[in-house]
Structure 1
Amino acid sequence: MTETGPLTGYKILDLTQFESGTVCTETLAWMGAEVWKVERPGTGELGRYSIAEPDQDSVGFILVNMNKKSITCNLKSAEGLDLIYQLLKEADAIVENMGPGSIEKLGLGYDKCKEINPKIIYAQIKGFGMDGPYKDYPAFNPIATAVGGMPAITGFPGGKPLQSGLNLADSGAGYMCAMSMIAALLQRERTGVGQRIEVAMQDVVIAFGRSSWEPYYREGRPPKRVGNGMPLEDVGPAGMYPCKPFGENDYVHIYCSRHPGSKHFSNLCRIIGRPDLLEDERFATPRSRFQYKDVLDPIIEEWTGQHTKQEAMDILCKADIPAGAVLDCDDITKDPYLRKRGMMVELETKDRGKLVVPGFASRMSENHVPYKPSPGLGESNQEVYQGILGLSDEELQALKEKKVI
């Protein structure tokens, strides 16, 4: 089968680092785009090596740089910048997520890139809107989620706001940028016009939290923190219930719908052997069940405690009761279905042997791009600089000696 995907033939100049930008370009690469990852000569991008292991690629780097080609270039040298200008003429898009103002200082702002290649798709990921009061502020995932509204609704009543353990702002901004770039490339096919794309991590988190505006307008105040409950409304049952053998992540989340006509609660009462609860007026409605959750939850916990989290999930879901086992990285990595599906993929790495890591979340019937490990530093210099720009062996060697690449 030919190794092609929906983006095969498109060339992306990748000036990203850490997570948000690298997730964007990795997503494009997984769909067949040829991604030229530009790194510093000798040291690579800032996320390539960890402090503890400076001589081998970090797992974090491997996770977000699969299927790319690494080229080295000193962007602060005139000769290095000229190489990037030449590559811009051959590229369909350029992506960067540097700190505020950094790309402009390097001489690679939008106006300059558009001058070199009028059809370029120019994509940027920043923490905040580039025309607003926070445009010069630094931002990482926890900062973006804080100003995007997520911690304000995460945590237990009366407690501090809590951050999620997931990098939602980083990866979310990466996916949003990739989606926008694909749309821009499609539009360019029709119009012949390139464009600038700006994705702010704060905006992405706000968009993820759109459901918060339902209780906000209904109750006239920001939504309160509800722990493991239902954030849209005070309903029950909705929460985490412990399972055997009662380890740190041995829980199942159960949620019975708030909507009229739902059979979730009646099904739950039947499954746990307590049909009598349906005759108790305290549990007559989703809201009343929330009001008396201190009575109801221990009854449910008595049943879940007799099962493992996976057993509980299977029994409940087969009875049309929404439930989810709390799976951790170990559970997910060892899940045979996720391996078969291709969500978790086995990757042979240069420094770390075989790793099982998350792959591309979408299944596309005509995407035939195989997974490839993250590139070694500068391993595609010859392929790109000679194959794309036509540099000779002598020119390439001279650039290496001057530490331009």
Structure 2
Amino acid sequence: MEGPLKGVTVIDITTNISGPSLTMILGDLGADIIKIERPFIGDDSRGMGPLWEGEGVYHLQINRNKRSIVIDLKSEEGKELLYKFVQEGDVFVENFRLGKAEEIGFGYETLKALNPSLIYCSLTAYGQEGPDSKKPGYDAIVQAETGIMSINGPPGGESARAAVSILDQGSAMWGAIGVLSALLHRERTGEGQKVETSLFETGVFWTGYHLLSYMATGEEQVKMGTGHSSFAPYGAFKTKNGELMIGISNDSLFGKLCKALDKEEWIEDPKFKRNLDRVKNRNQLSREIEQVLSSQDASYWLERIDQAGVPSSIIRNISSMIDHPQMESTQMLEEVAHPLIDEMKLARLPIRLSASPVRIRKAPPLLGEDTISILQDSGISQETIDELLSKGVIQTKKVERVAKI
């Protein structure tokens, strides 16, 4: 069984995190990703530490299922190679600062003229229009711009960025959804189109209910730490030896929690009876819950609260996830054969398709390891390849790949 995008060719000139994450999704779904990289340096993510046998871990996670070709796109011969790939391909993805693609000859109108059925995806920091559209922006910068950092962190404490790249990878998801939608549209009509998304628009979307809350109340949203502005009790609570995360989103769950804590009198307490009451009196309720929880270890309370059917968890370290039984059951880590790294495992795409499975078919490529095979597949003669190599227009790396796992 093959992935649903088998037969779709994606020309990928992205770098860093957002664009490569987008094309990784398409690659995991079965598309052939031709990753075009700069001479010597390649994708910036290759140098993002820590390094594992010389390979950046960012690069390893978001560049599997791709073929790497090194082309000097500043040279005329290099541009002609890219134009040839575009004419033969289905999807083109770039994440330059707005206007850069047009400046170097790879804008939408230019490539559309070469291939009218092309799906052209542009992922930017701030979108295609407006006063900030040409500003550079990384994930954390746009988290600050969209208000995410202002509501992230402990109550009354310093602002904090989300520790994972939520806007890079979130915009990658929207870009991939856009490409899939455009491919479906093309299948029906034969028409290509441009797909646009940005970190800024993703950030605005993620803060949606906070924006509505402000519109409804006129009150500035504040940091809640592990808490939630709309529900109580909700957050991390101290036990005898650690913290327990508990989430209560309705009155029924609150009743179950009360029984698990042997505090059934709280169910009819007018200060706690309804969620709006609990939100208003959240500080008192939290103090009383922690007073109860302080009598036993976190594992004791987790078992009782779990048995009651209340959402809860011990706050785990990243290291504990490697051997997490649920991780093994869902097979979220997939072992991949890499020429340099022994027993490398990567987090798979978190979706399952019964008829066209999503899988990691190929390890993240070494810089330029597929240059020759990509050019040969495109019908370019060995004589021309040798000439391009001698001029430095392309680069390659011989790889002795380990046996497939």
Would the TM-score normalized by the shorter structure come out above 0.5? yes
Matched, 1:236 2:232: yes
2: CA distance between counterparts of 1:373 and 1:102? 30
- Is the 1:333–1:356 contact (alpha carbons within 8 Å) kept by the matching residues of 2? no
Task: Show structure 1 runs of 5+ residues with no match.
Answer: none
| In structure 1, distance between residues paired with 2:325 and 2:265 | 39
Specify which of 106, 109, 123 is matched with residue 108 of structure 1.
106
Counterpart residue identity of residue 240, structure 1 = A
Q: Which residue, 356, 371, 386 being the options, matches 1:381? A: 371
Instruction: Say what the alpha-carbon RMSD is for the aligned residues.
Output: 2.3
Cα offset, 1:215, TM superposition: 1.8
2:101 counterpart of 1:117: no
Q: Is 2:393 aligned against 1:401?
A: no
Deviations 1:125-149 (A, max 9, x none): 1011222111110000011222223
- TM-score, normalised via structure 2 length: 0.90
Letter in 2 for 1:297: S
Retained in 1: the 8 A contact 2:49–2:58? Answer: no
CA distance in 1, matches of 2:240, 2:334: 29
Equivalent in 335, 354, 357 of residue 346 of structure 1: 335
SS at structure 1 position matched to 2:44: coil
Task: Give me the whole-angstrom Cα distance separating, in 1, the residues matched to 2:90 and 2:296.
Answer: 54
Give the secondary structure class of the aligned counterpart of 1:263: helix
- Unpaired runs of at least 5, structure 2: 395-405
Aligned partner of residue 375 in structure 1, secondary structure? coil
State the distance in 2 between where 1:394 and 1:244 align.
Answer: 73
CA offsets per residue over residues 19-56 of structure 1, 9 Å max, x none? Answer: 11011000000010000000112221122124775972
Count of residues in correspondence between the two structures: 393
Q: Distance in 2 between matches of 1:146 and 1:394?
A: 52
Are the aligned partners of 1:333 and 1:357 in contact in 2 as well (CA < 8 Å)? Answer: no
**Which of 84, 87, 109 is the matching residue for 2:82?**
84
Tell me if 1:153 matches 2:151: yes
Where 2:195 maps in the other structure, the secondary structure is strand
Residue number among 21, 24, 35 corresponding to 2:22 in the alignment = 24
Residues in 2 aligned to 1:297 and 1:47: alpha-carbon distance in whole angstroms: 43
* Cα gap change, 1:320 to 1:54, in 2 (>3 Å): closer
Q: Hey, what does 1:256 align to over in structure 2?
A: 248
Counterparts of 1:236 and 1:76, CA distance in 2:
57
- Which is worse superposed, 372-381 or 350-359? 350-359
Query: In structure 2, how many angstroms separate the alpha carbons of the residues matched to 1:53 and 1:272?
Result: 47
Aligned-partner Cα distance in 2 for 1:340–1:135: 44
> Where in structure 2 are the equivalents of 1:59-208 lying within 5 Å?
59-208=57-206
Pair 1:216–1:341, CA change in 2 (3 A): same
Shift of residue 276, structure 1, vs aligned partner: 3.2
Query: Cα distance, 1:300 vs. partner?
Result: 2.3
Cα deviations by residue, 1:155-192 (Å, 9 ceiling, x for unpaired): 34433433211211000000110010010011001111
Amino acid at match of 1:387: D
Q: Which range moves more in the overlay, 173-182 or 151-160?
A: 151-160
> Amino acid of the residue matched to residue 314 of structure 2?
A
Give distance in 2, aligned partners of 1:292 and 1:66: 49
Work out the CA distance in 1 between the residues paired with 2:35 and 2:392.
17
Match of 2:285 in 1: 296
| Partner SS, residue 48 of structure 1 | helix
Q: Which amino acid aligns with 1:178?
A: A
* 3-state DSSP of counterpart to 1:149: coil
In the alignment, the residues of structure 2 paired with residue 337 and residue 356 of structure 1 have an alpha-carbon distance, to the nearest angstrom, of 16
1:107 partner SS: coil
Kept in 1, the 8 Å contact 2:235–2:247? The answer is yes
The CA distance in 1 between the partners of 2:141 and 2:205, in whole Å, is 16
Counterparts of 1:72 and 1:225, CA distance in 2: 46
Quick one: which amino acid aligns to residue 245 of structure 2?
Answer: H
String of CA shifts for 1:304-326, please: whole Å, max 9, x gaps: 45666566445324313222332
Give the secondary structure class of the aligned counterpart of 2:46.
Answer: coil
In 2, Cα distance between equivalents of 1:257 and 1:211: 15
Q: Distance in 2 between matches of 1:141 and 1:222?
A: 23
Task: Report if the CA contact (8 A) 1:49-1:55 is conserved.
Answer: no
Measure, in 2, the Cα distance between the counterparts of 1:387 and 1:310: 57
1:367: which partner in 2?
A: 356
Deviations 1:283-303 (A, max 9, x none): 333344344444432432345
How far 1:356 moved relative to its partner?
A: 3.0
SS at match of 2:92: strand
2:317 to 307, 322, 328: 328
Amino acid in the other structure paired with 2:259: R
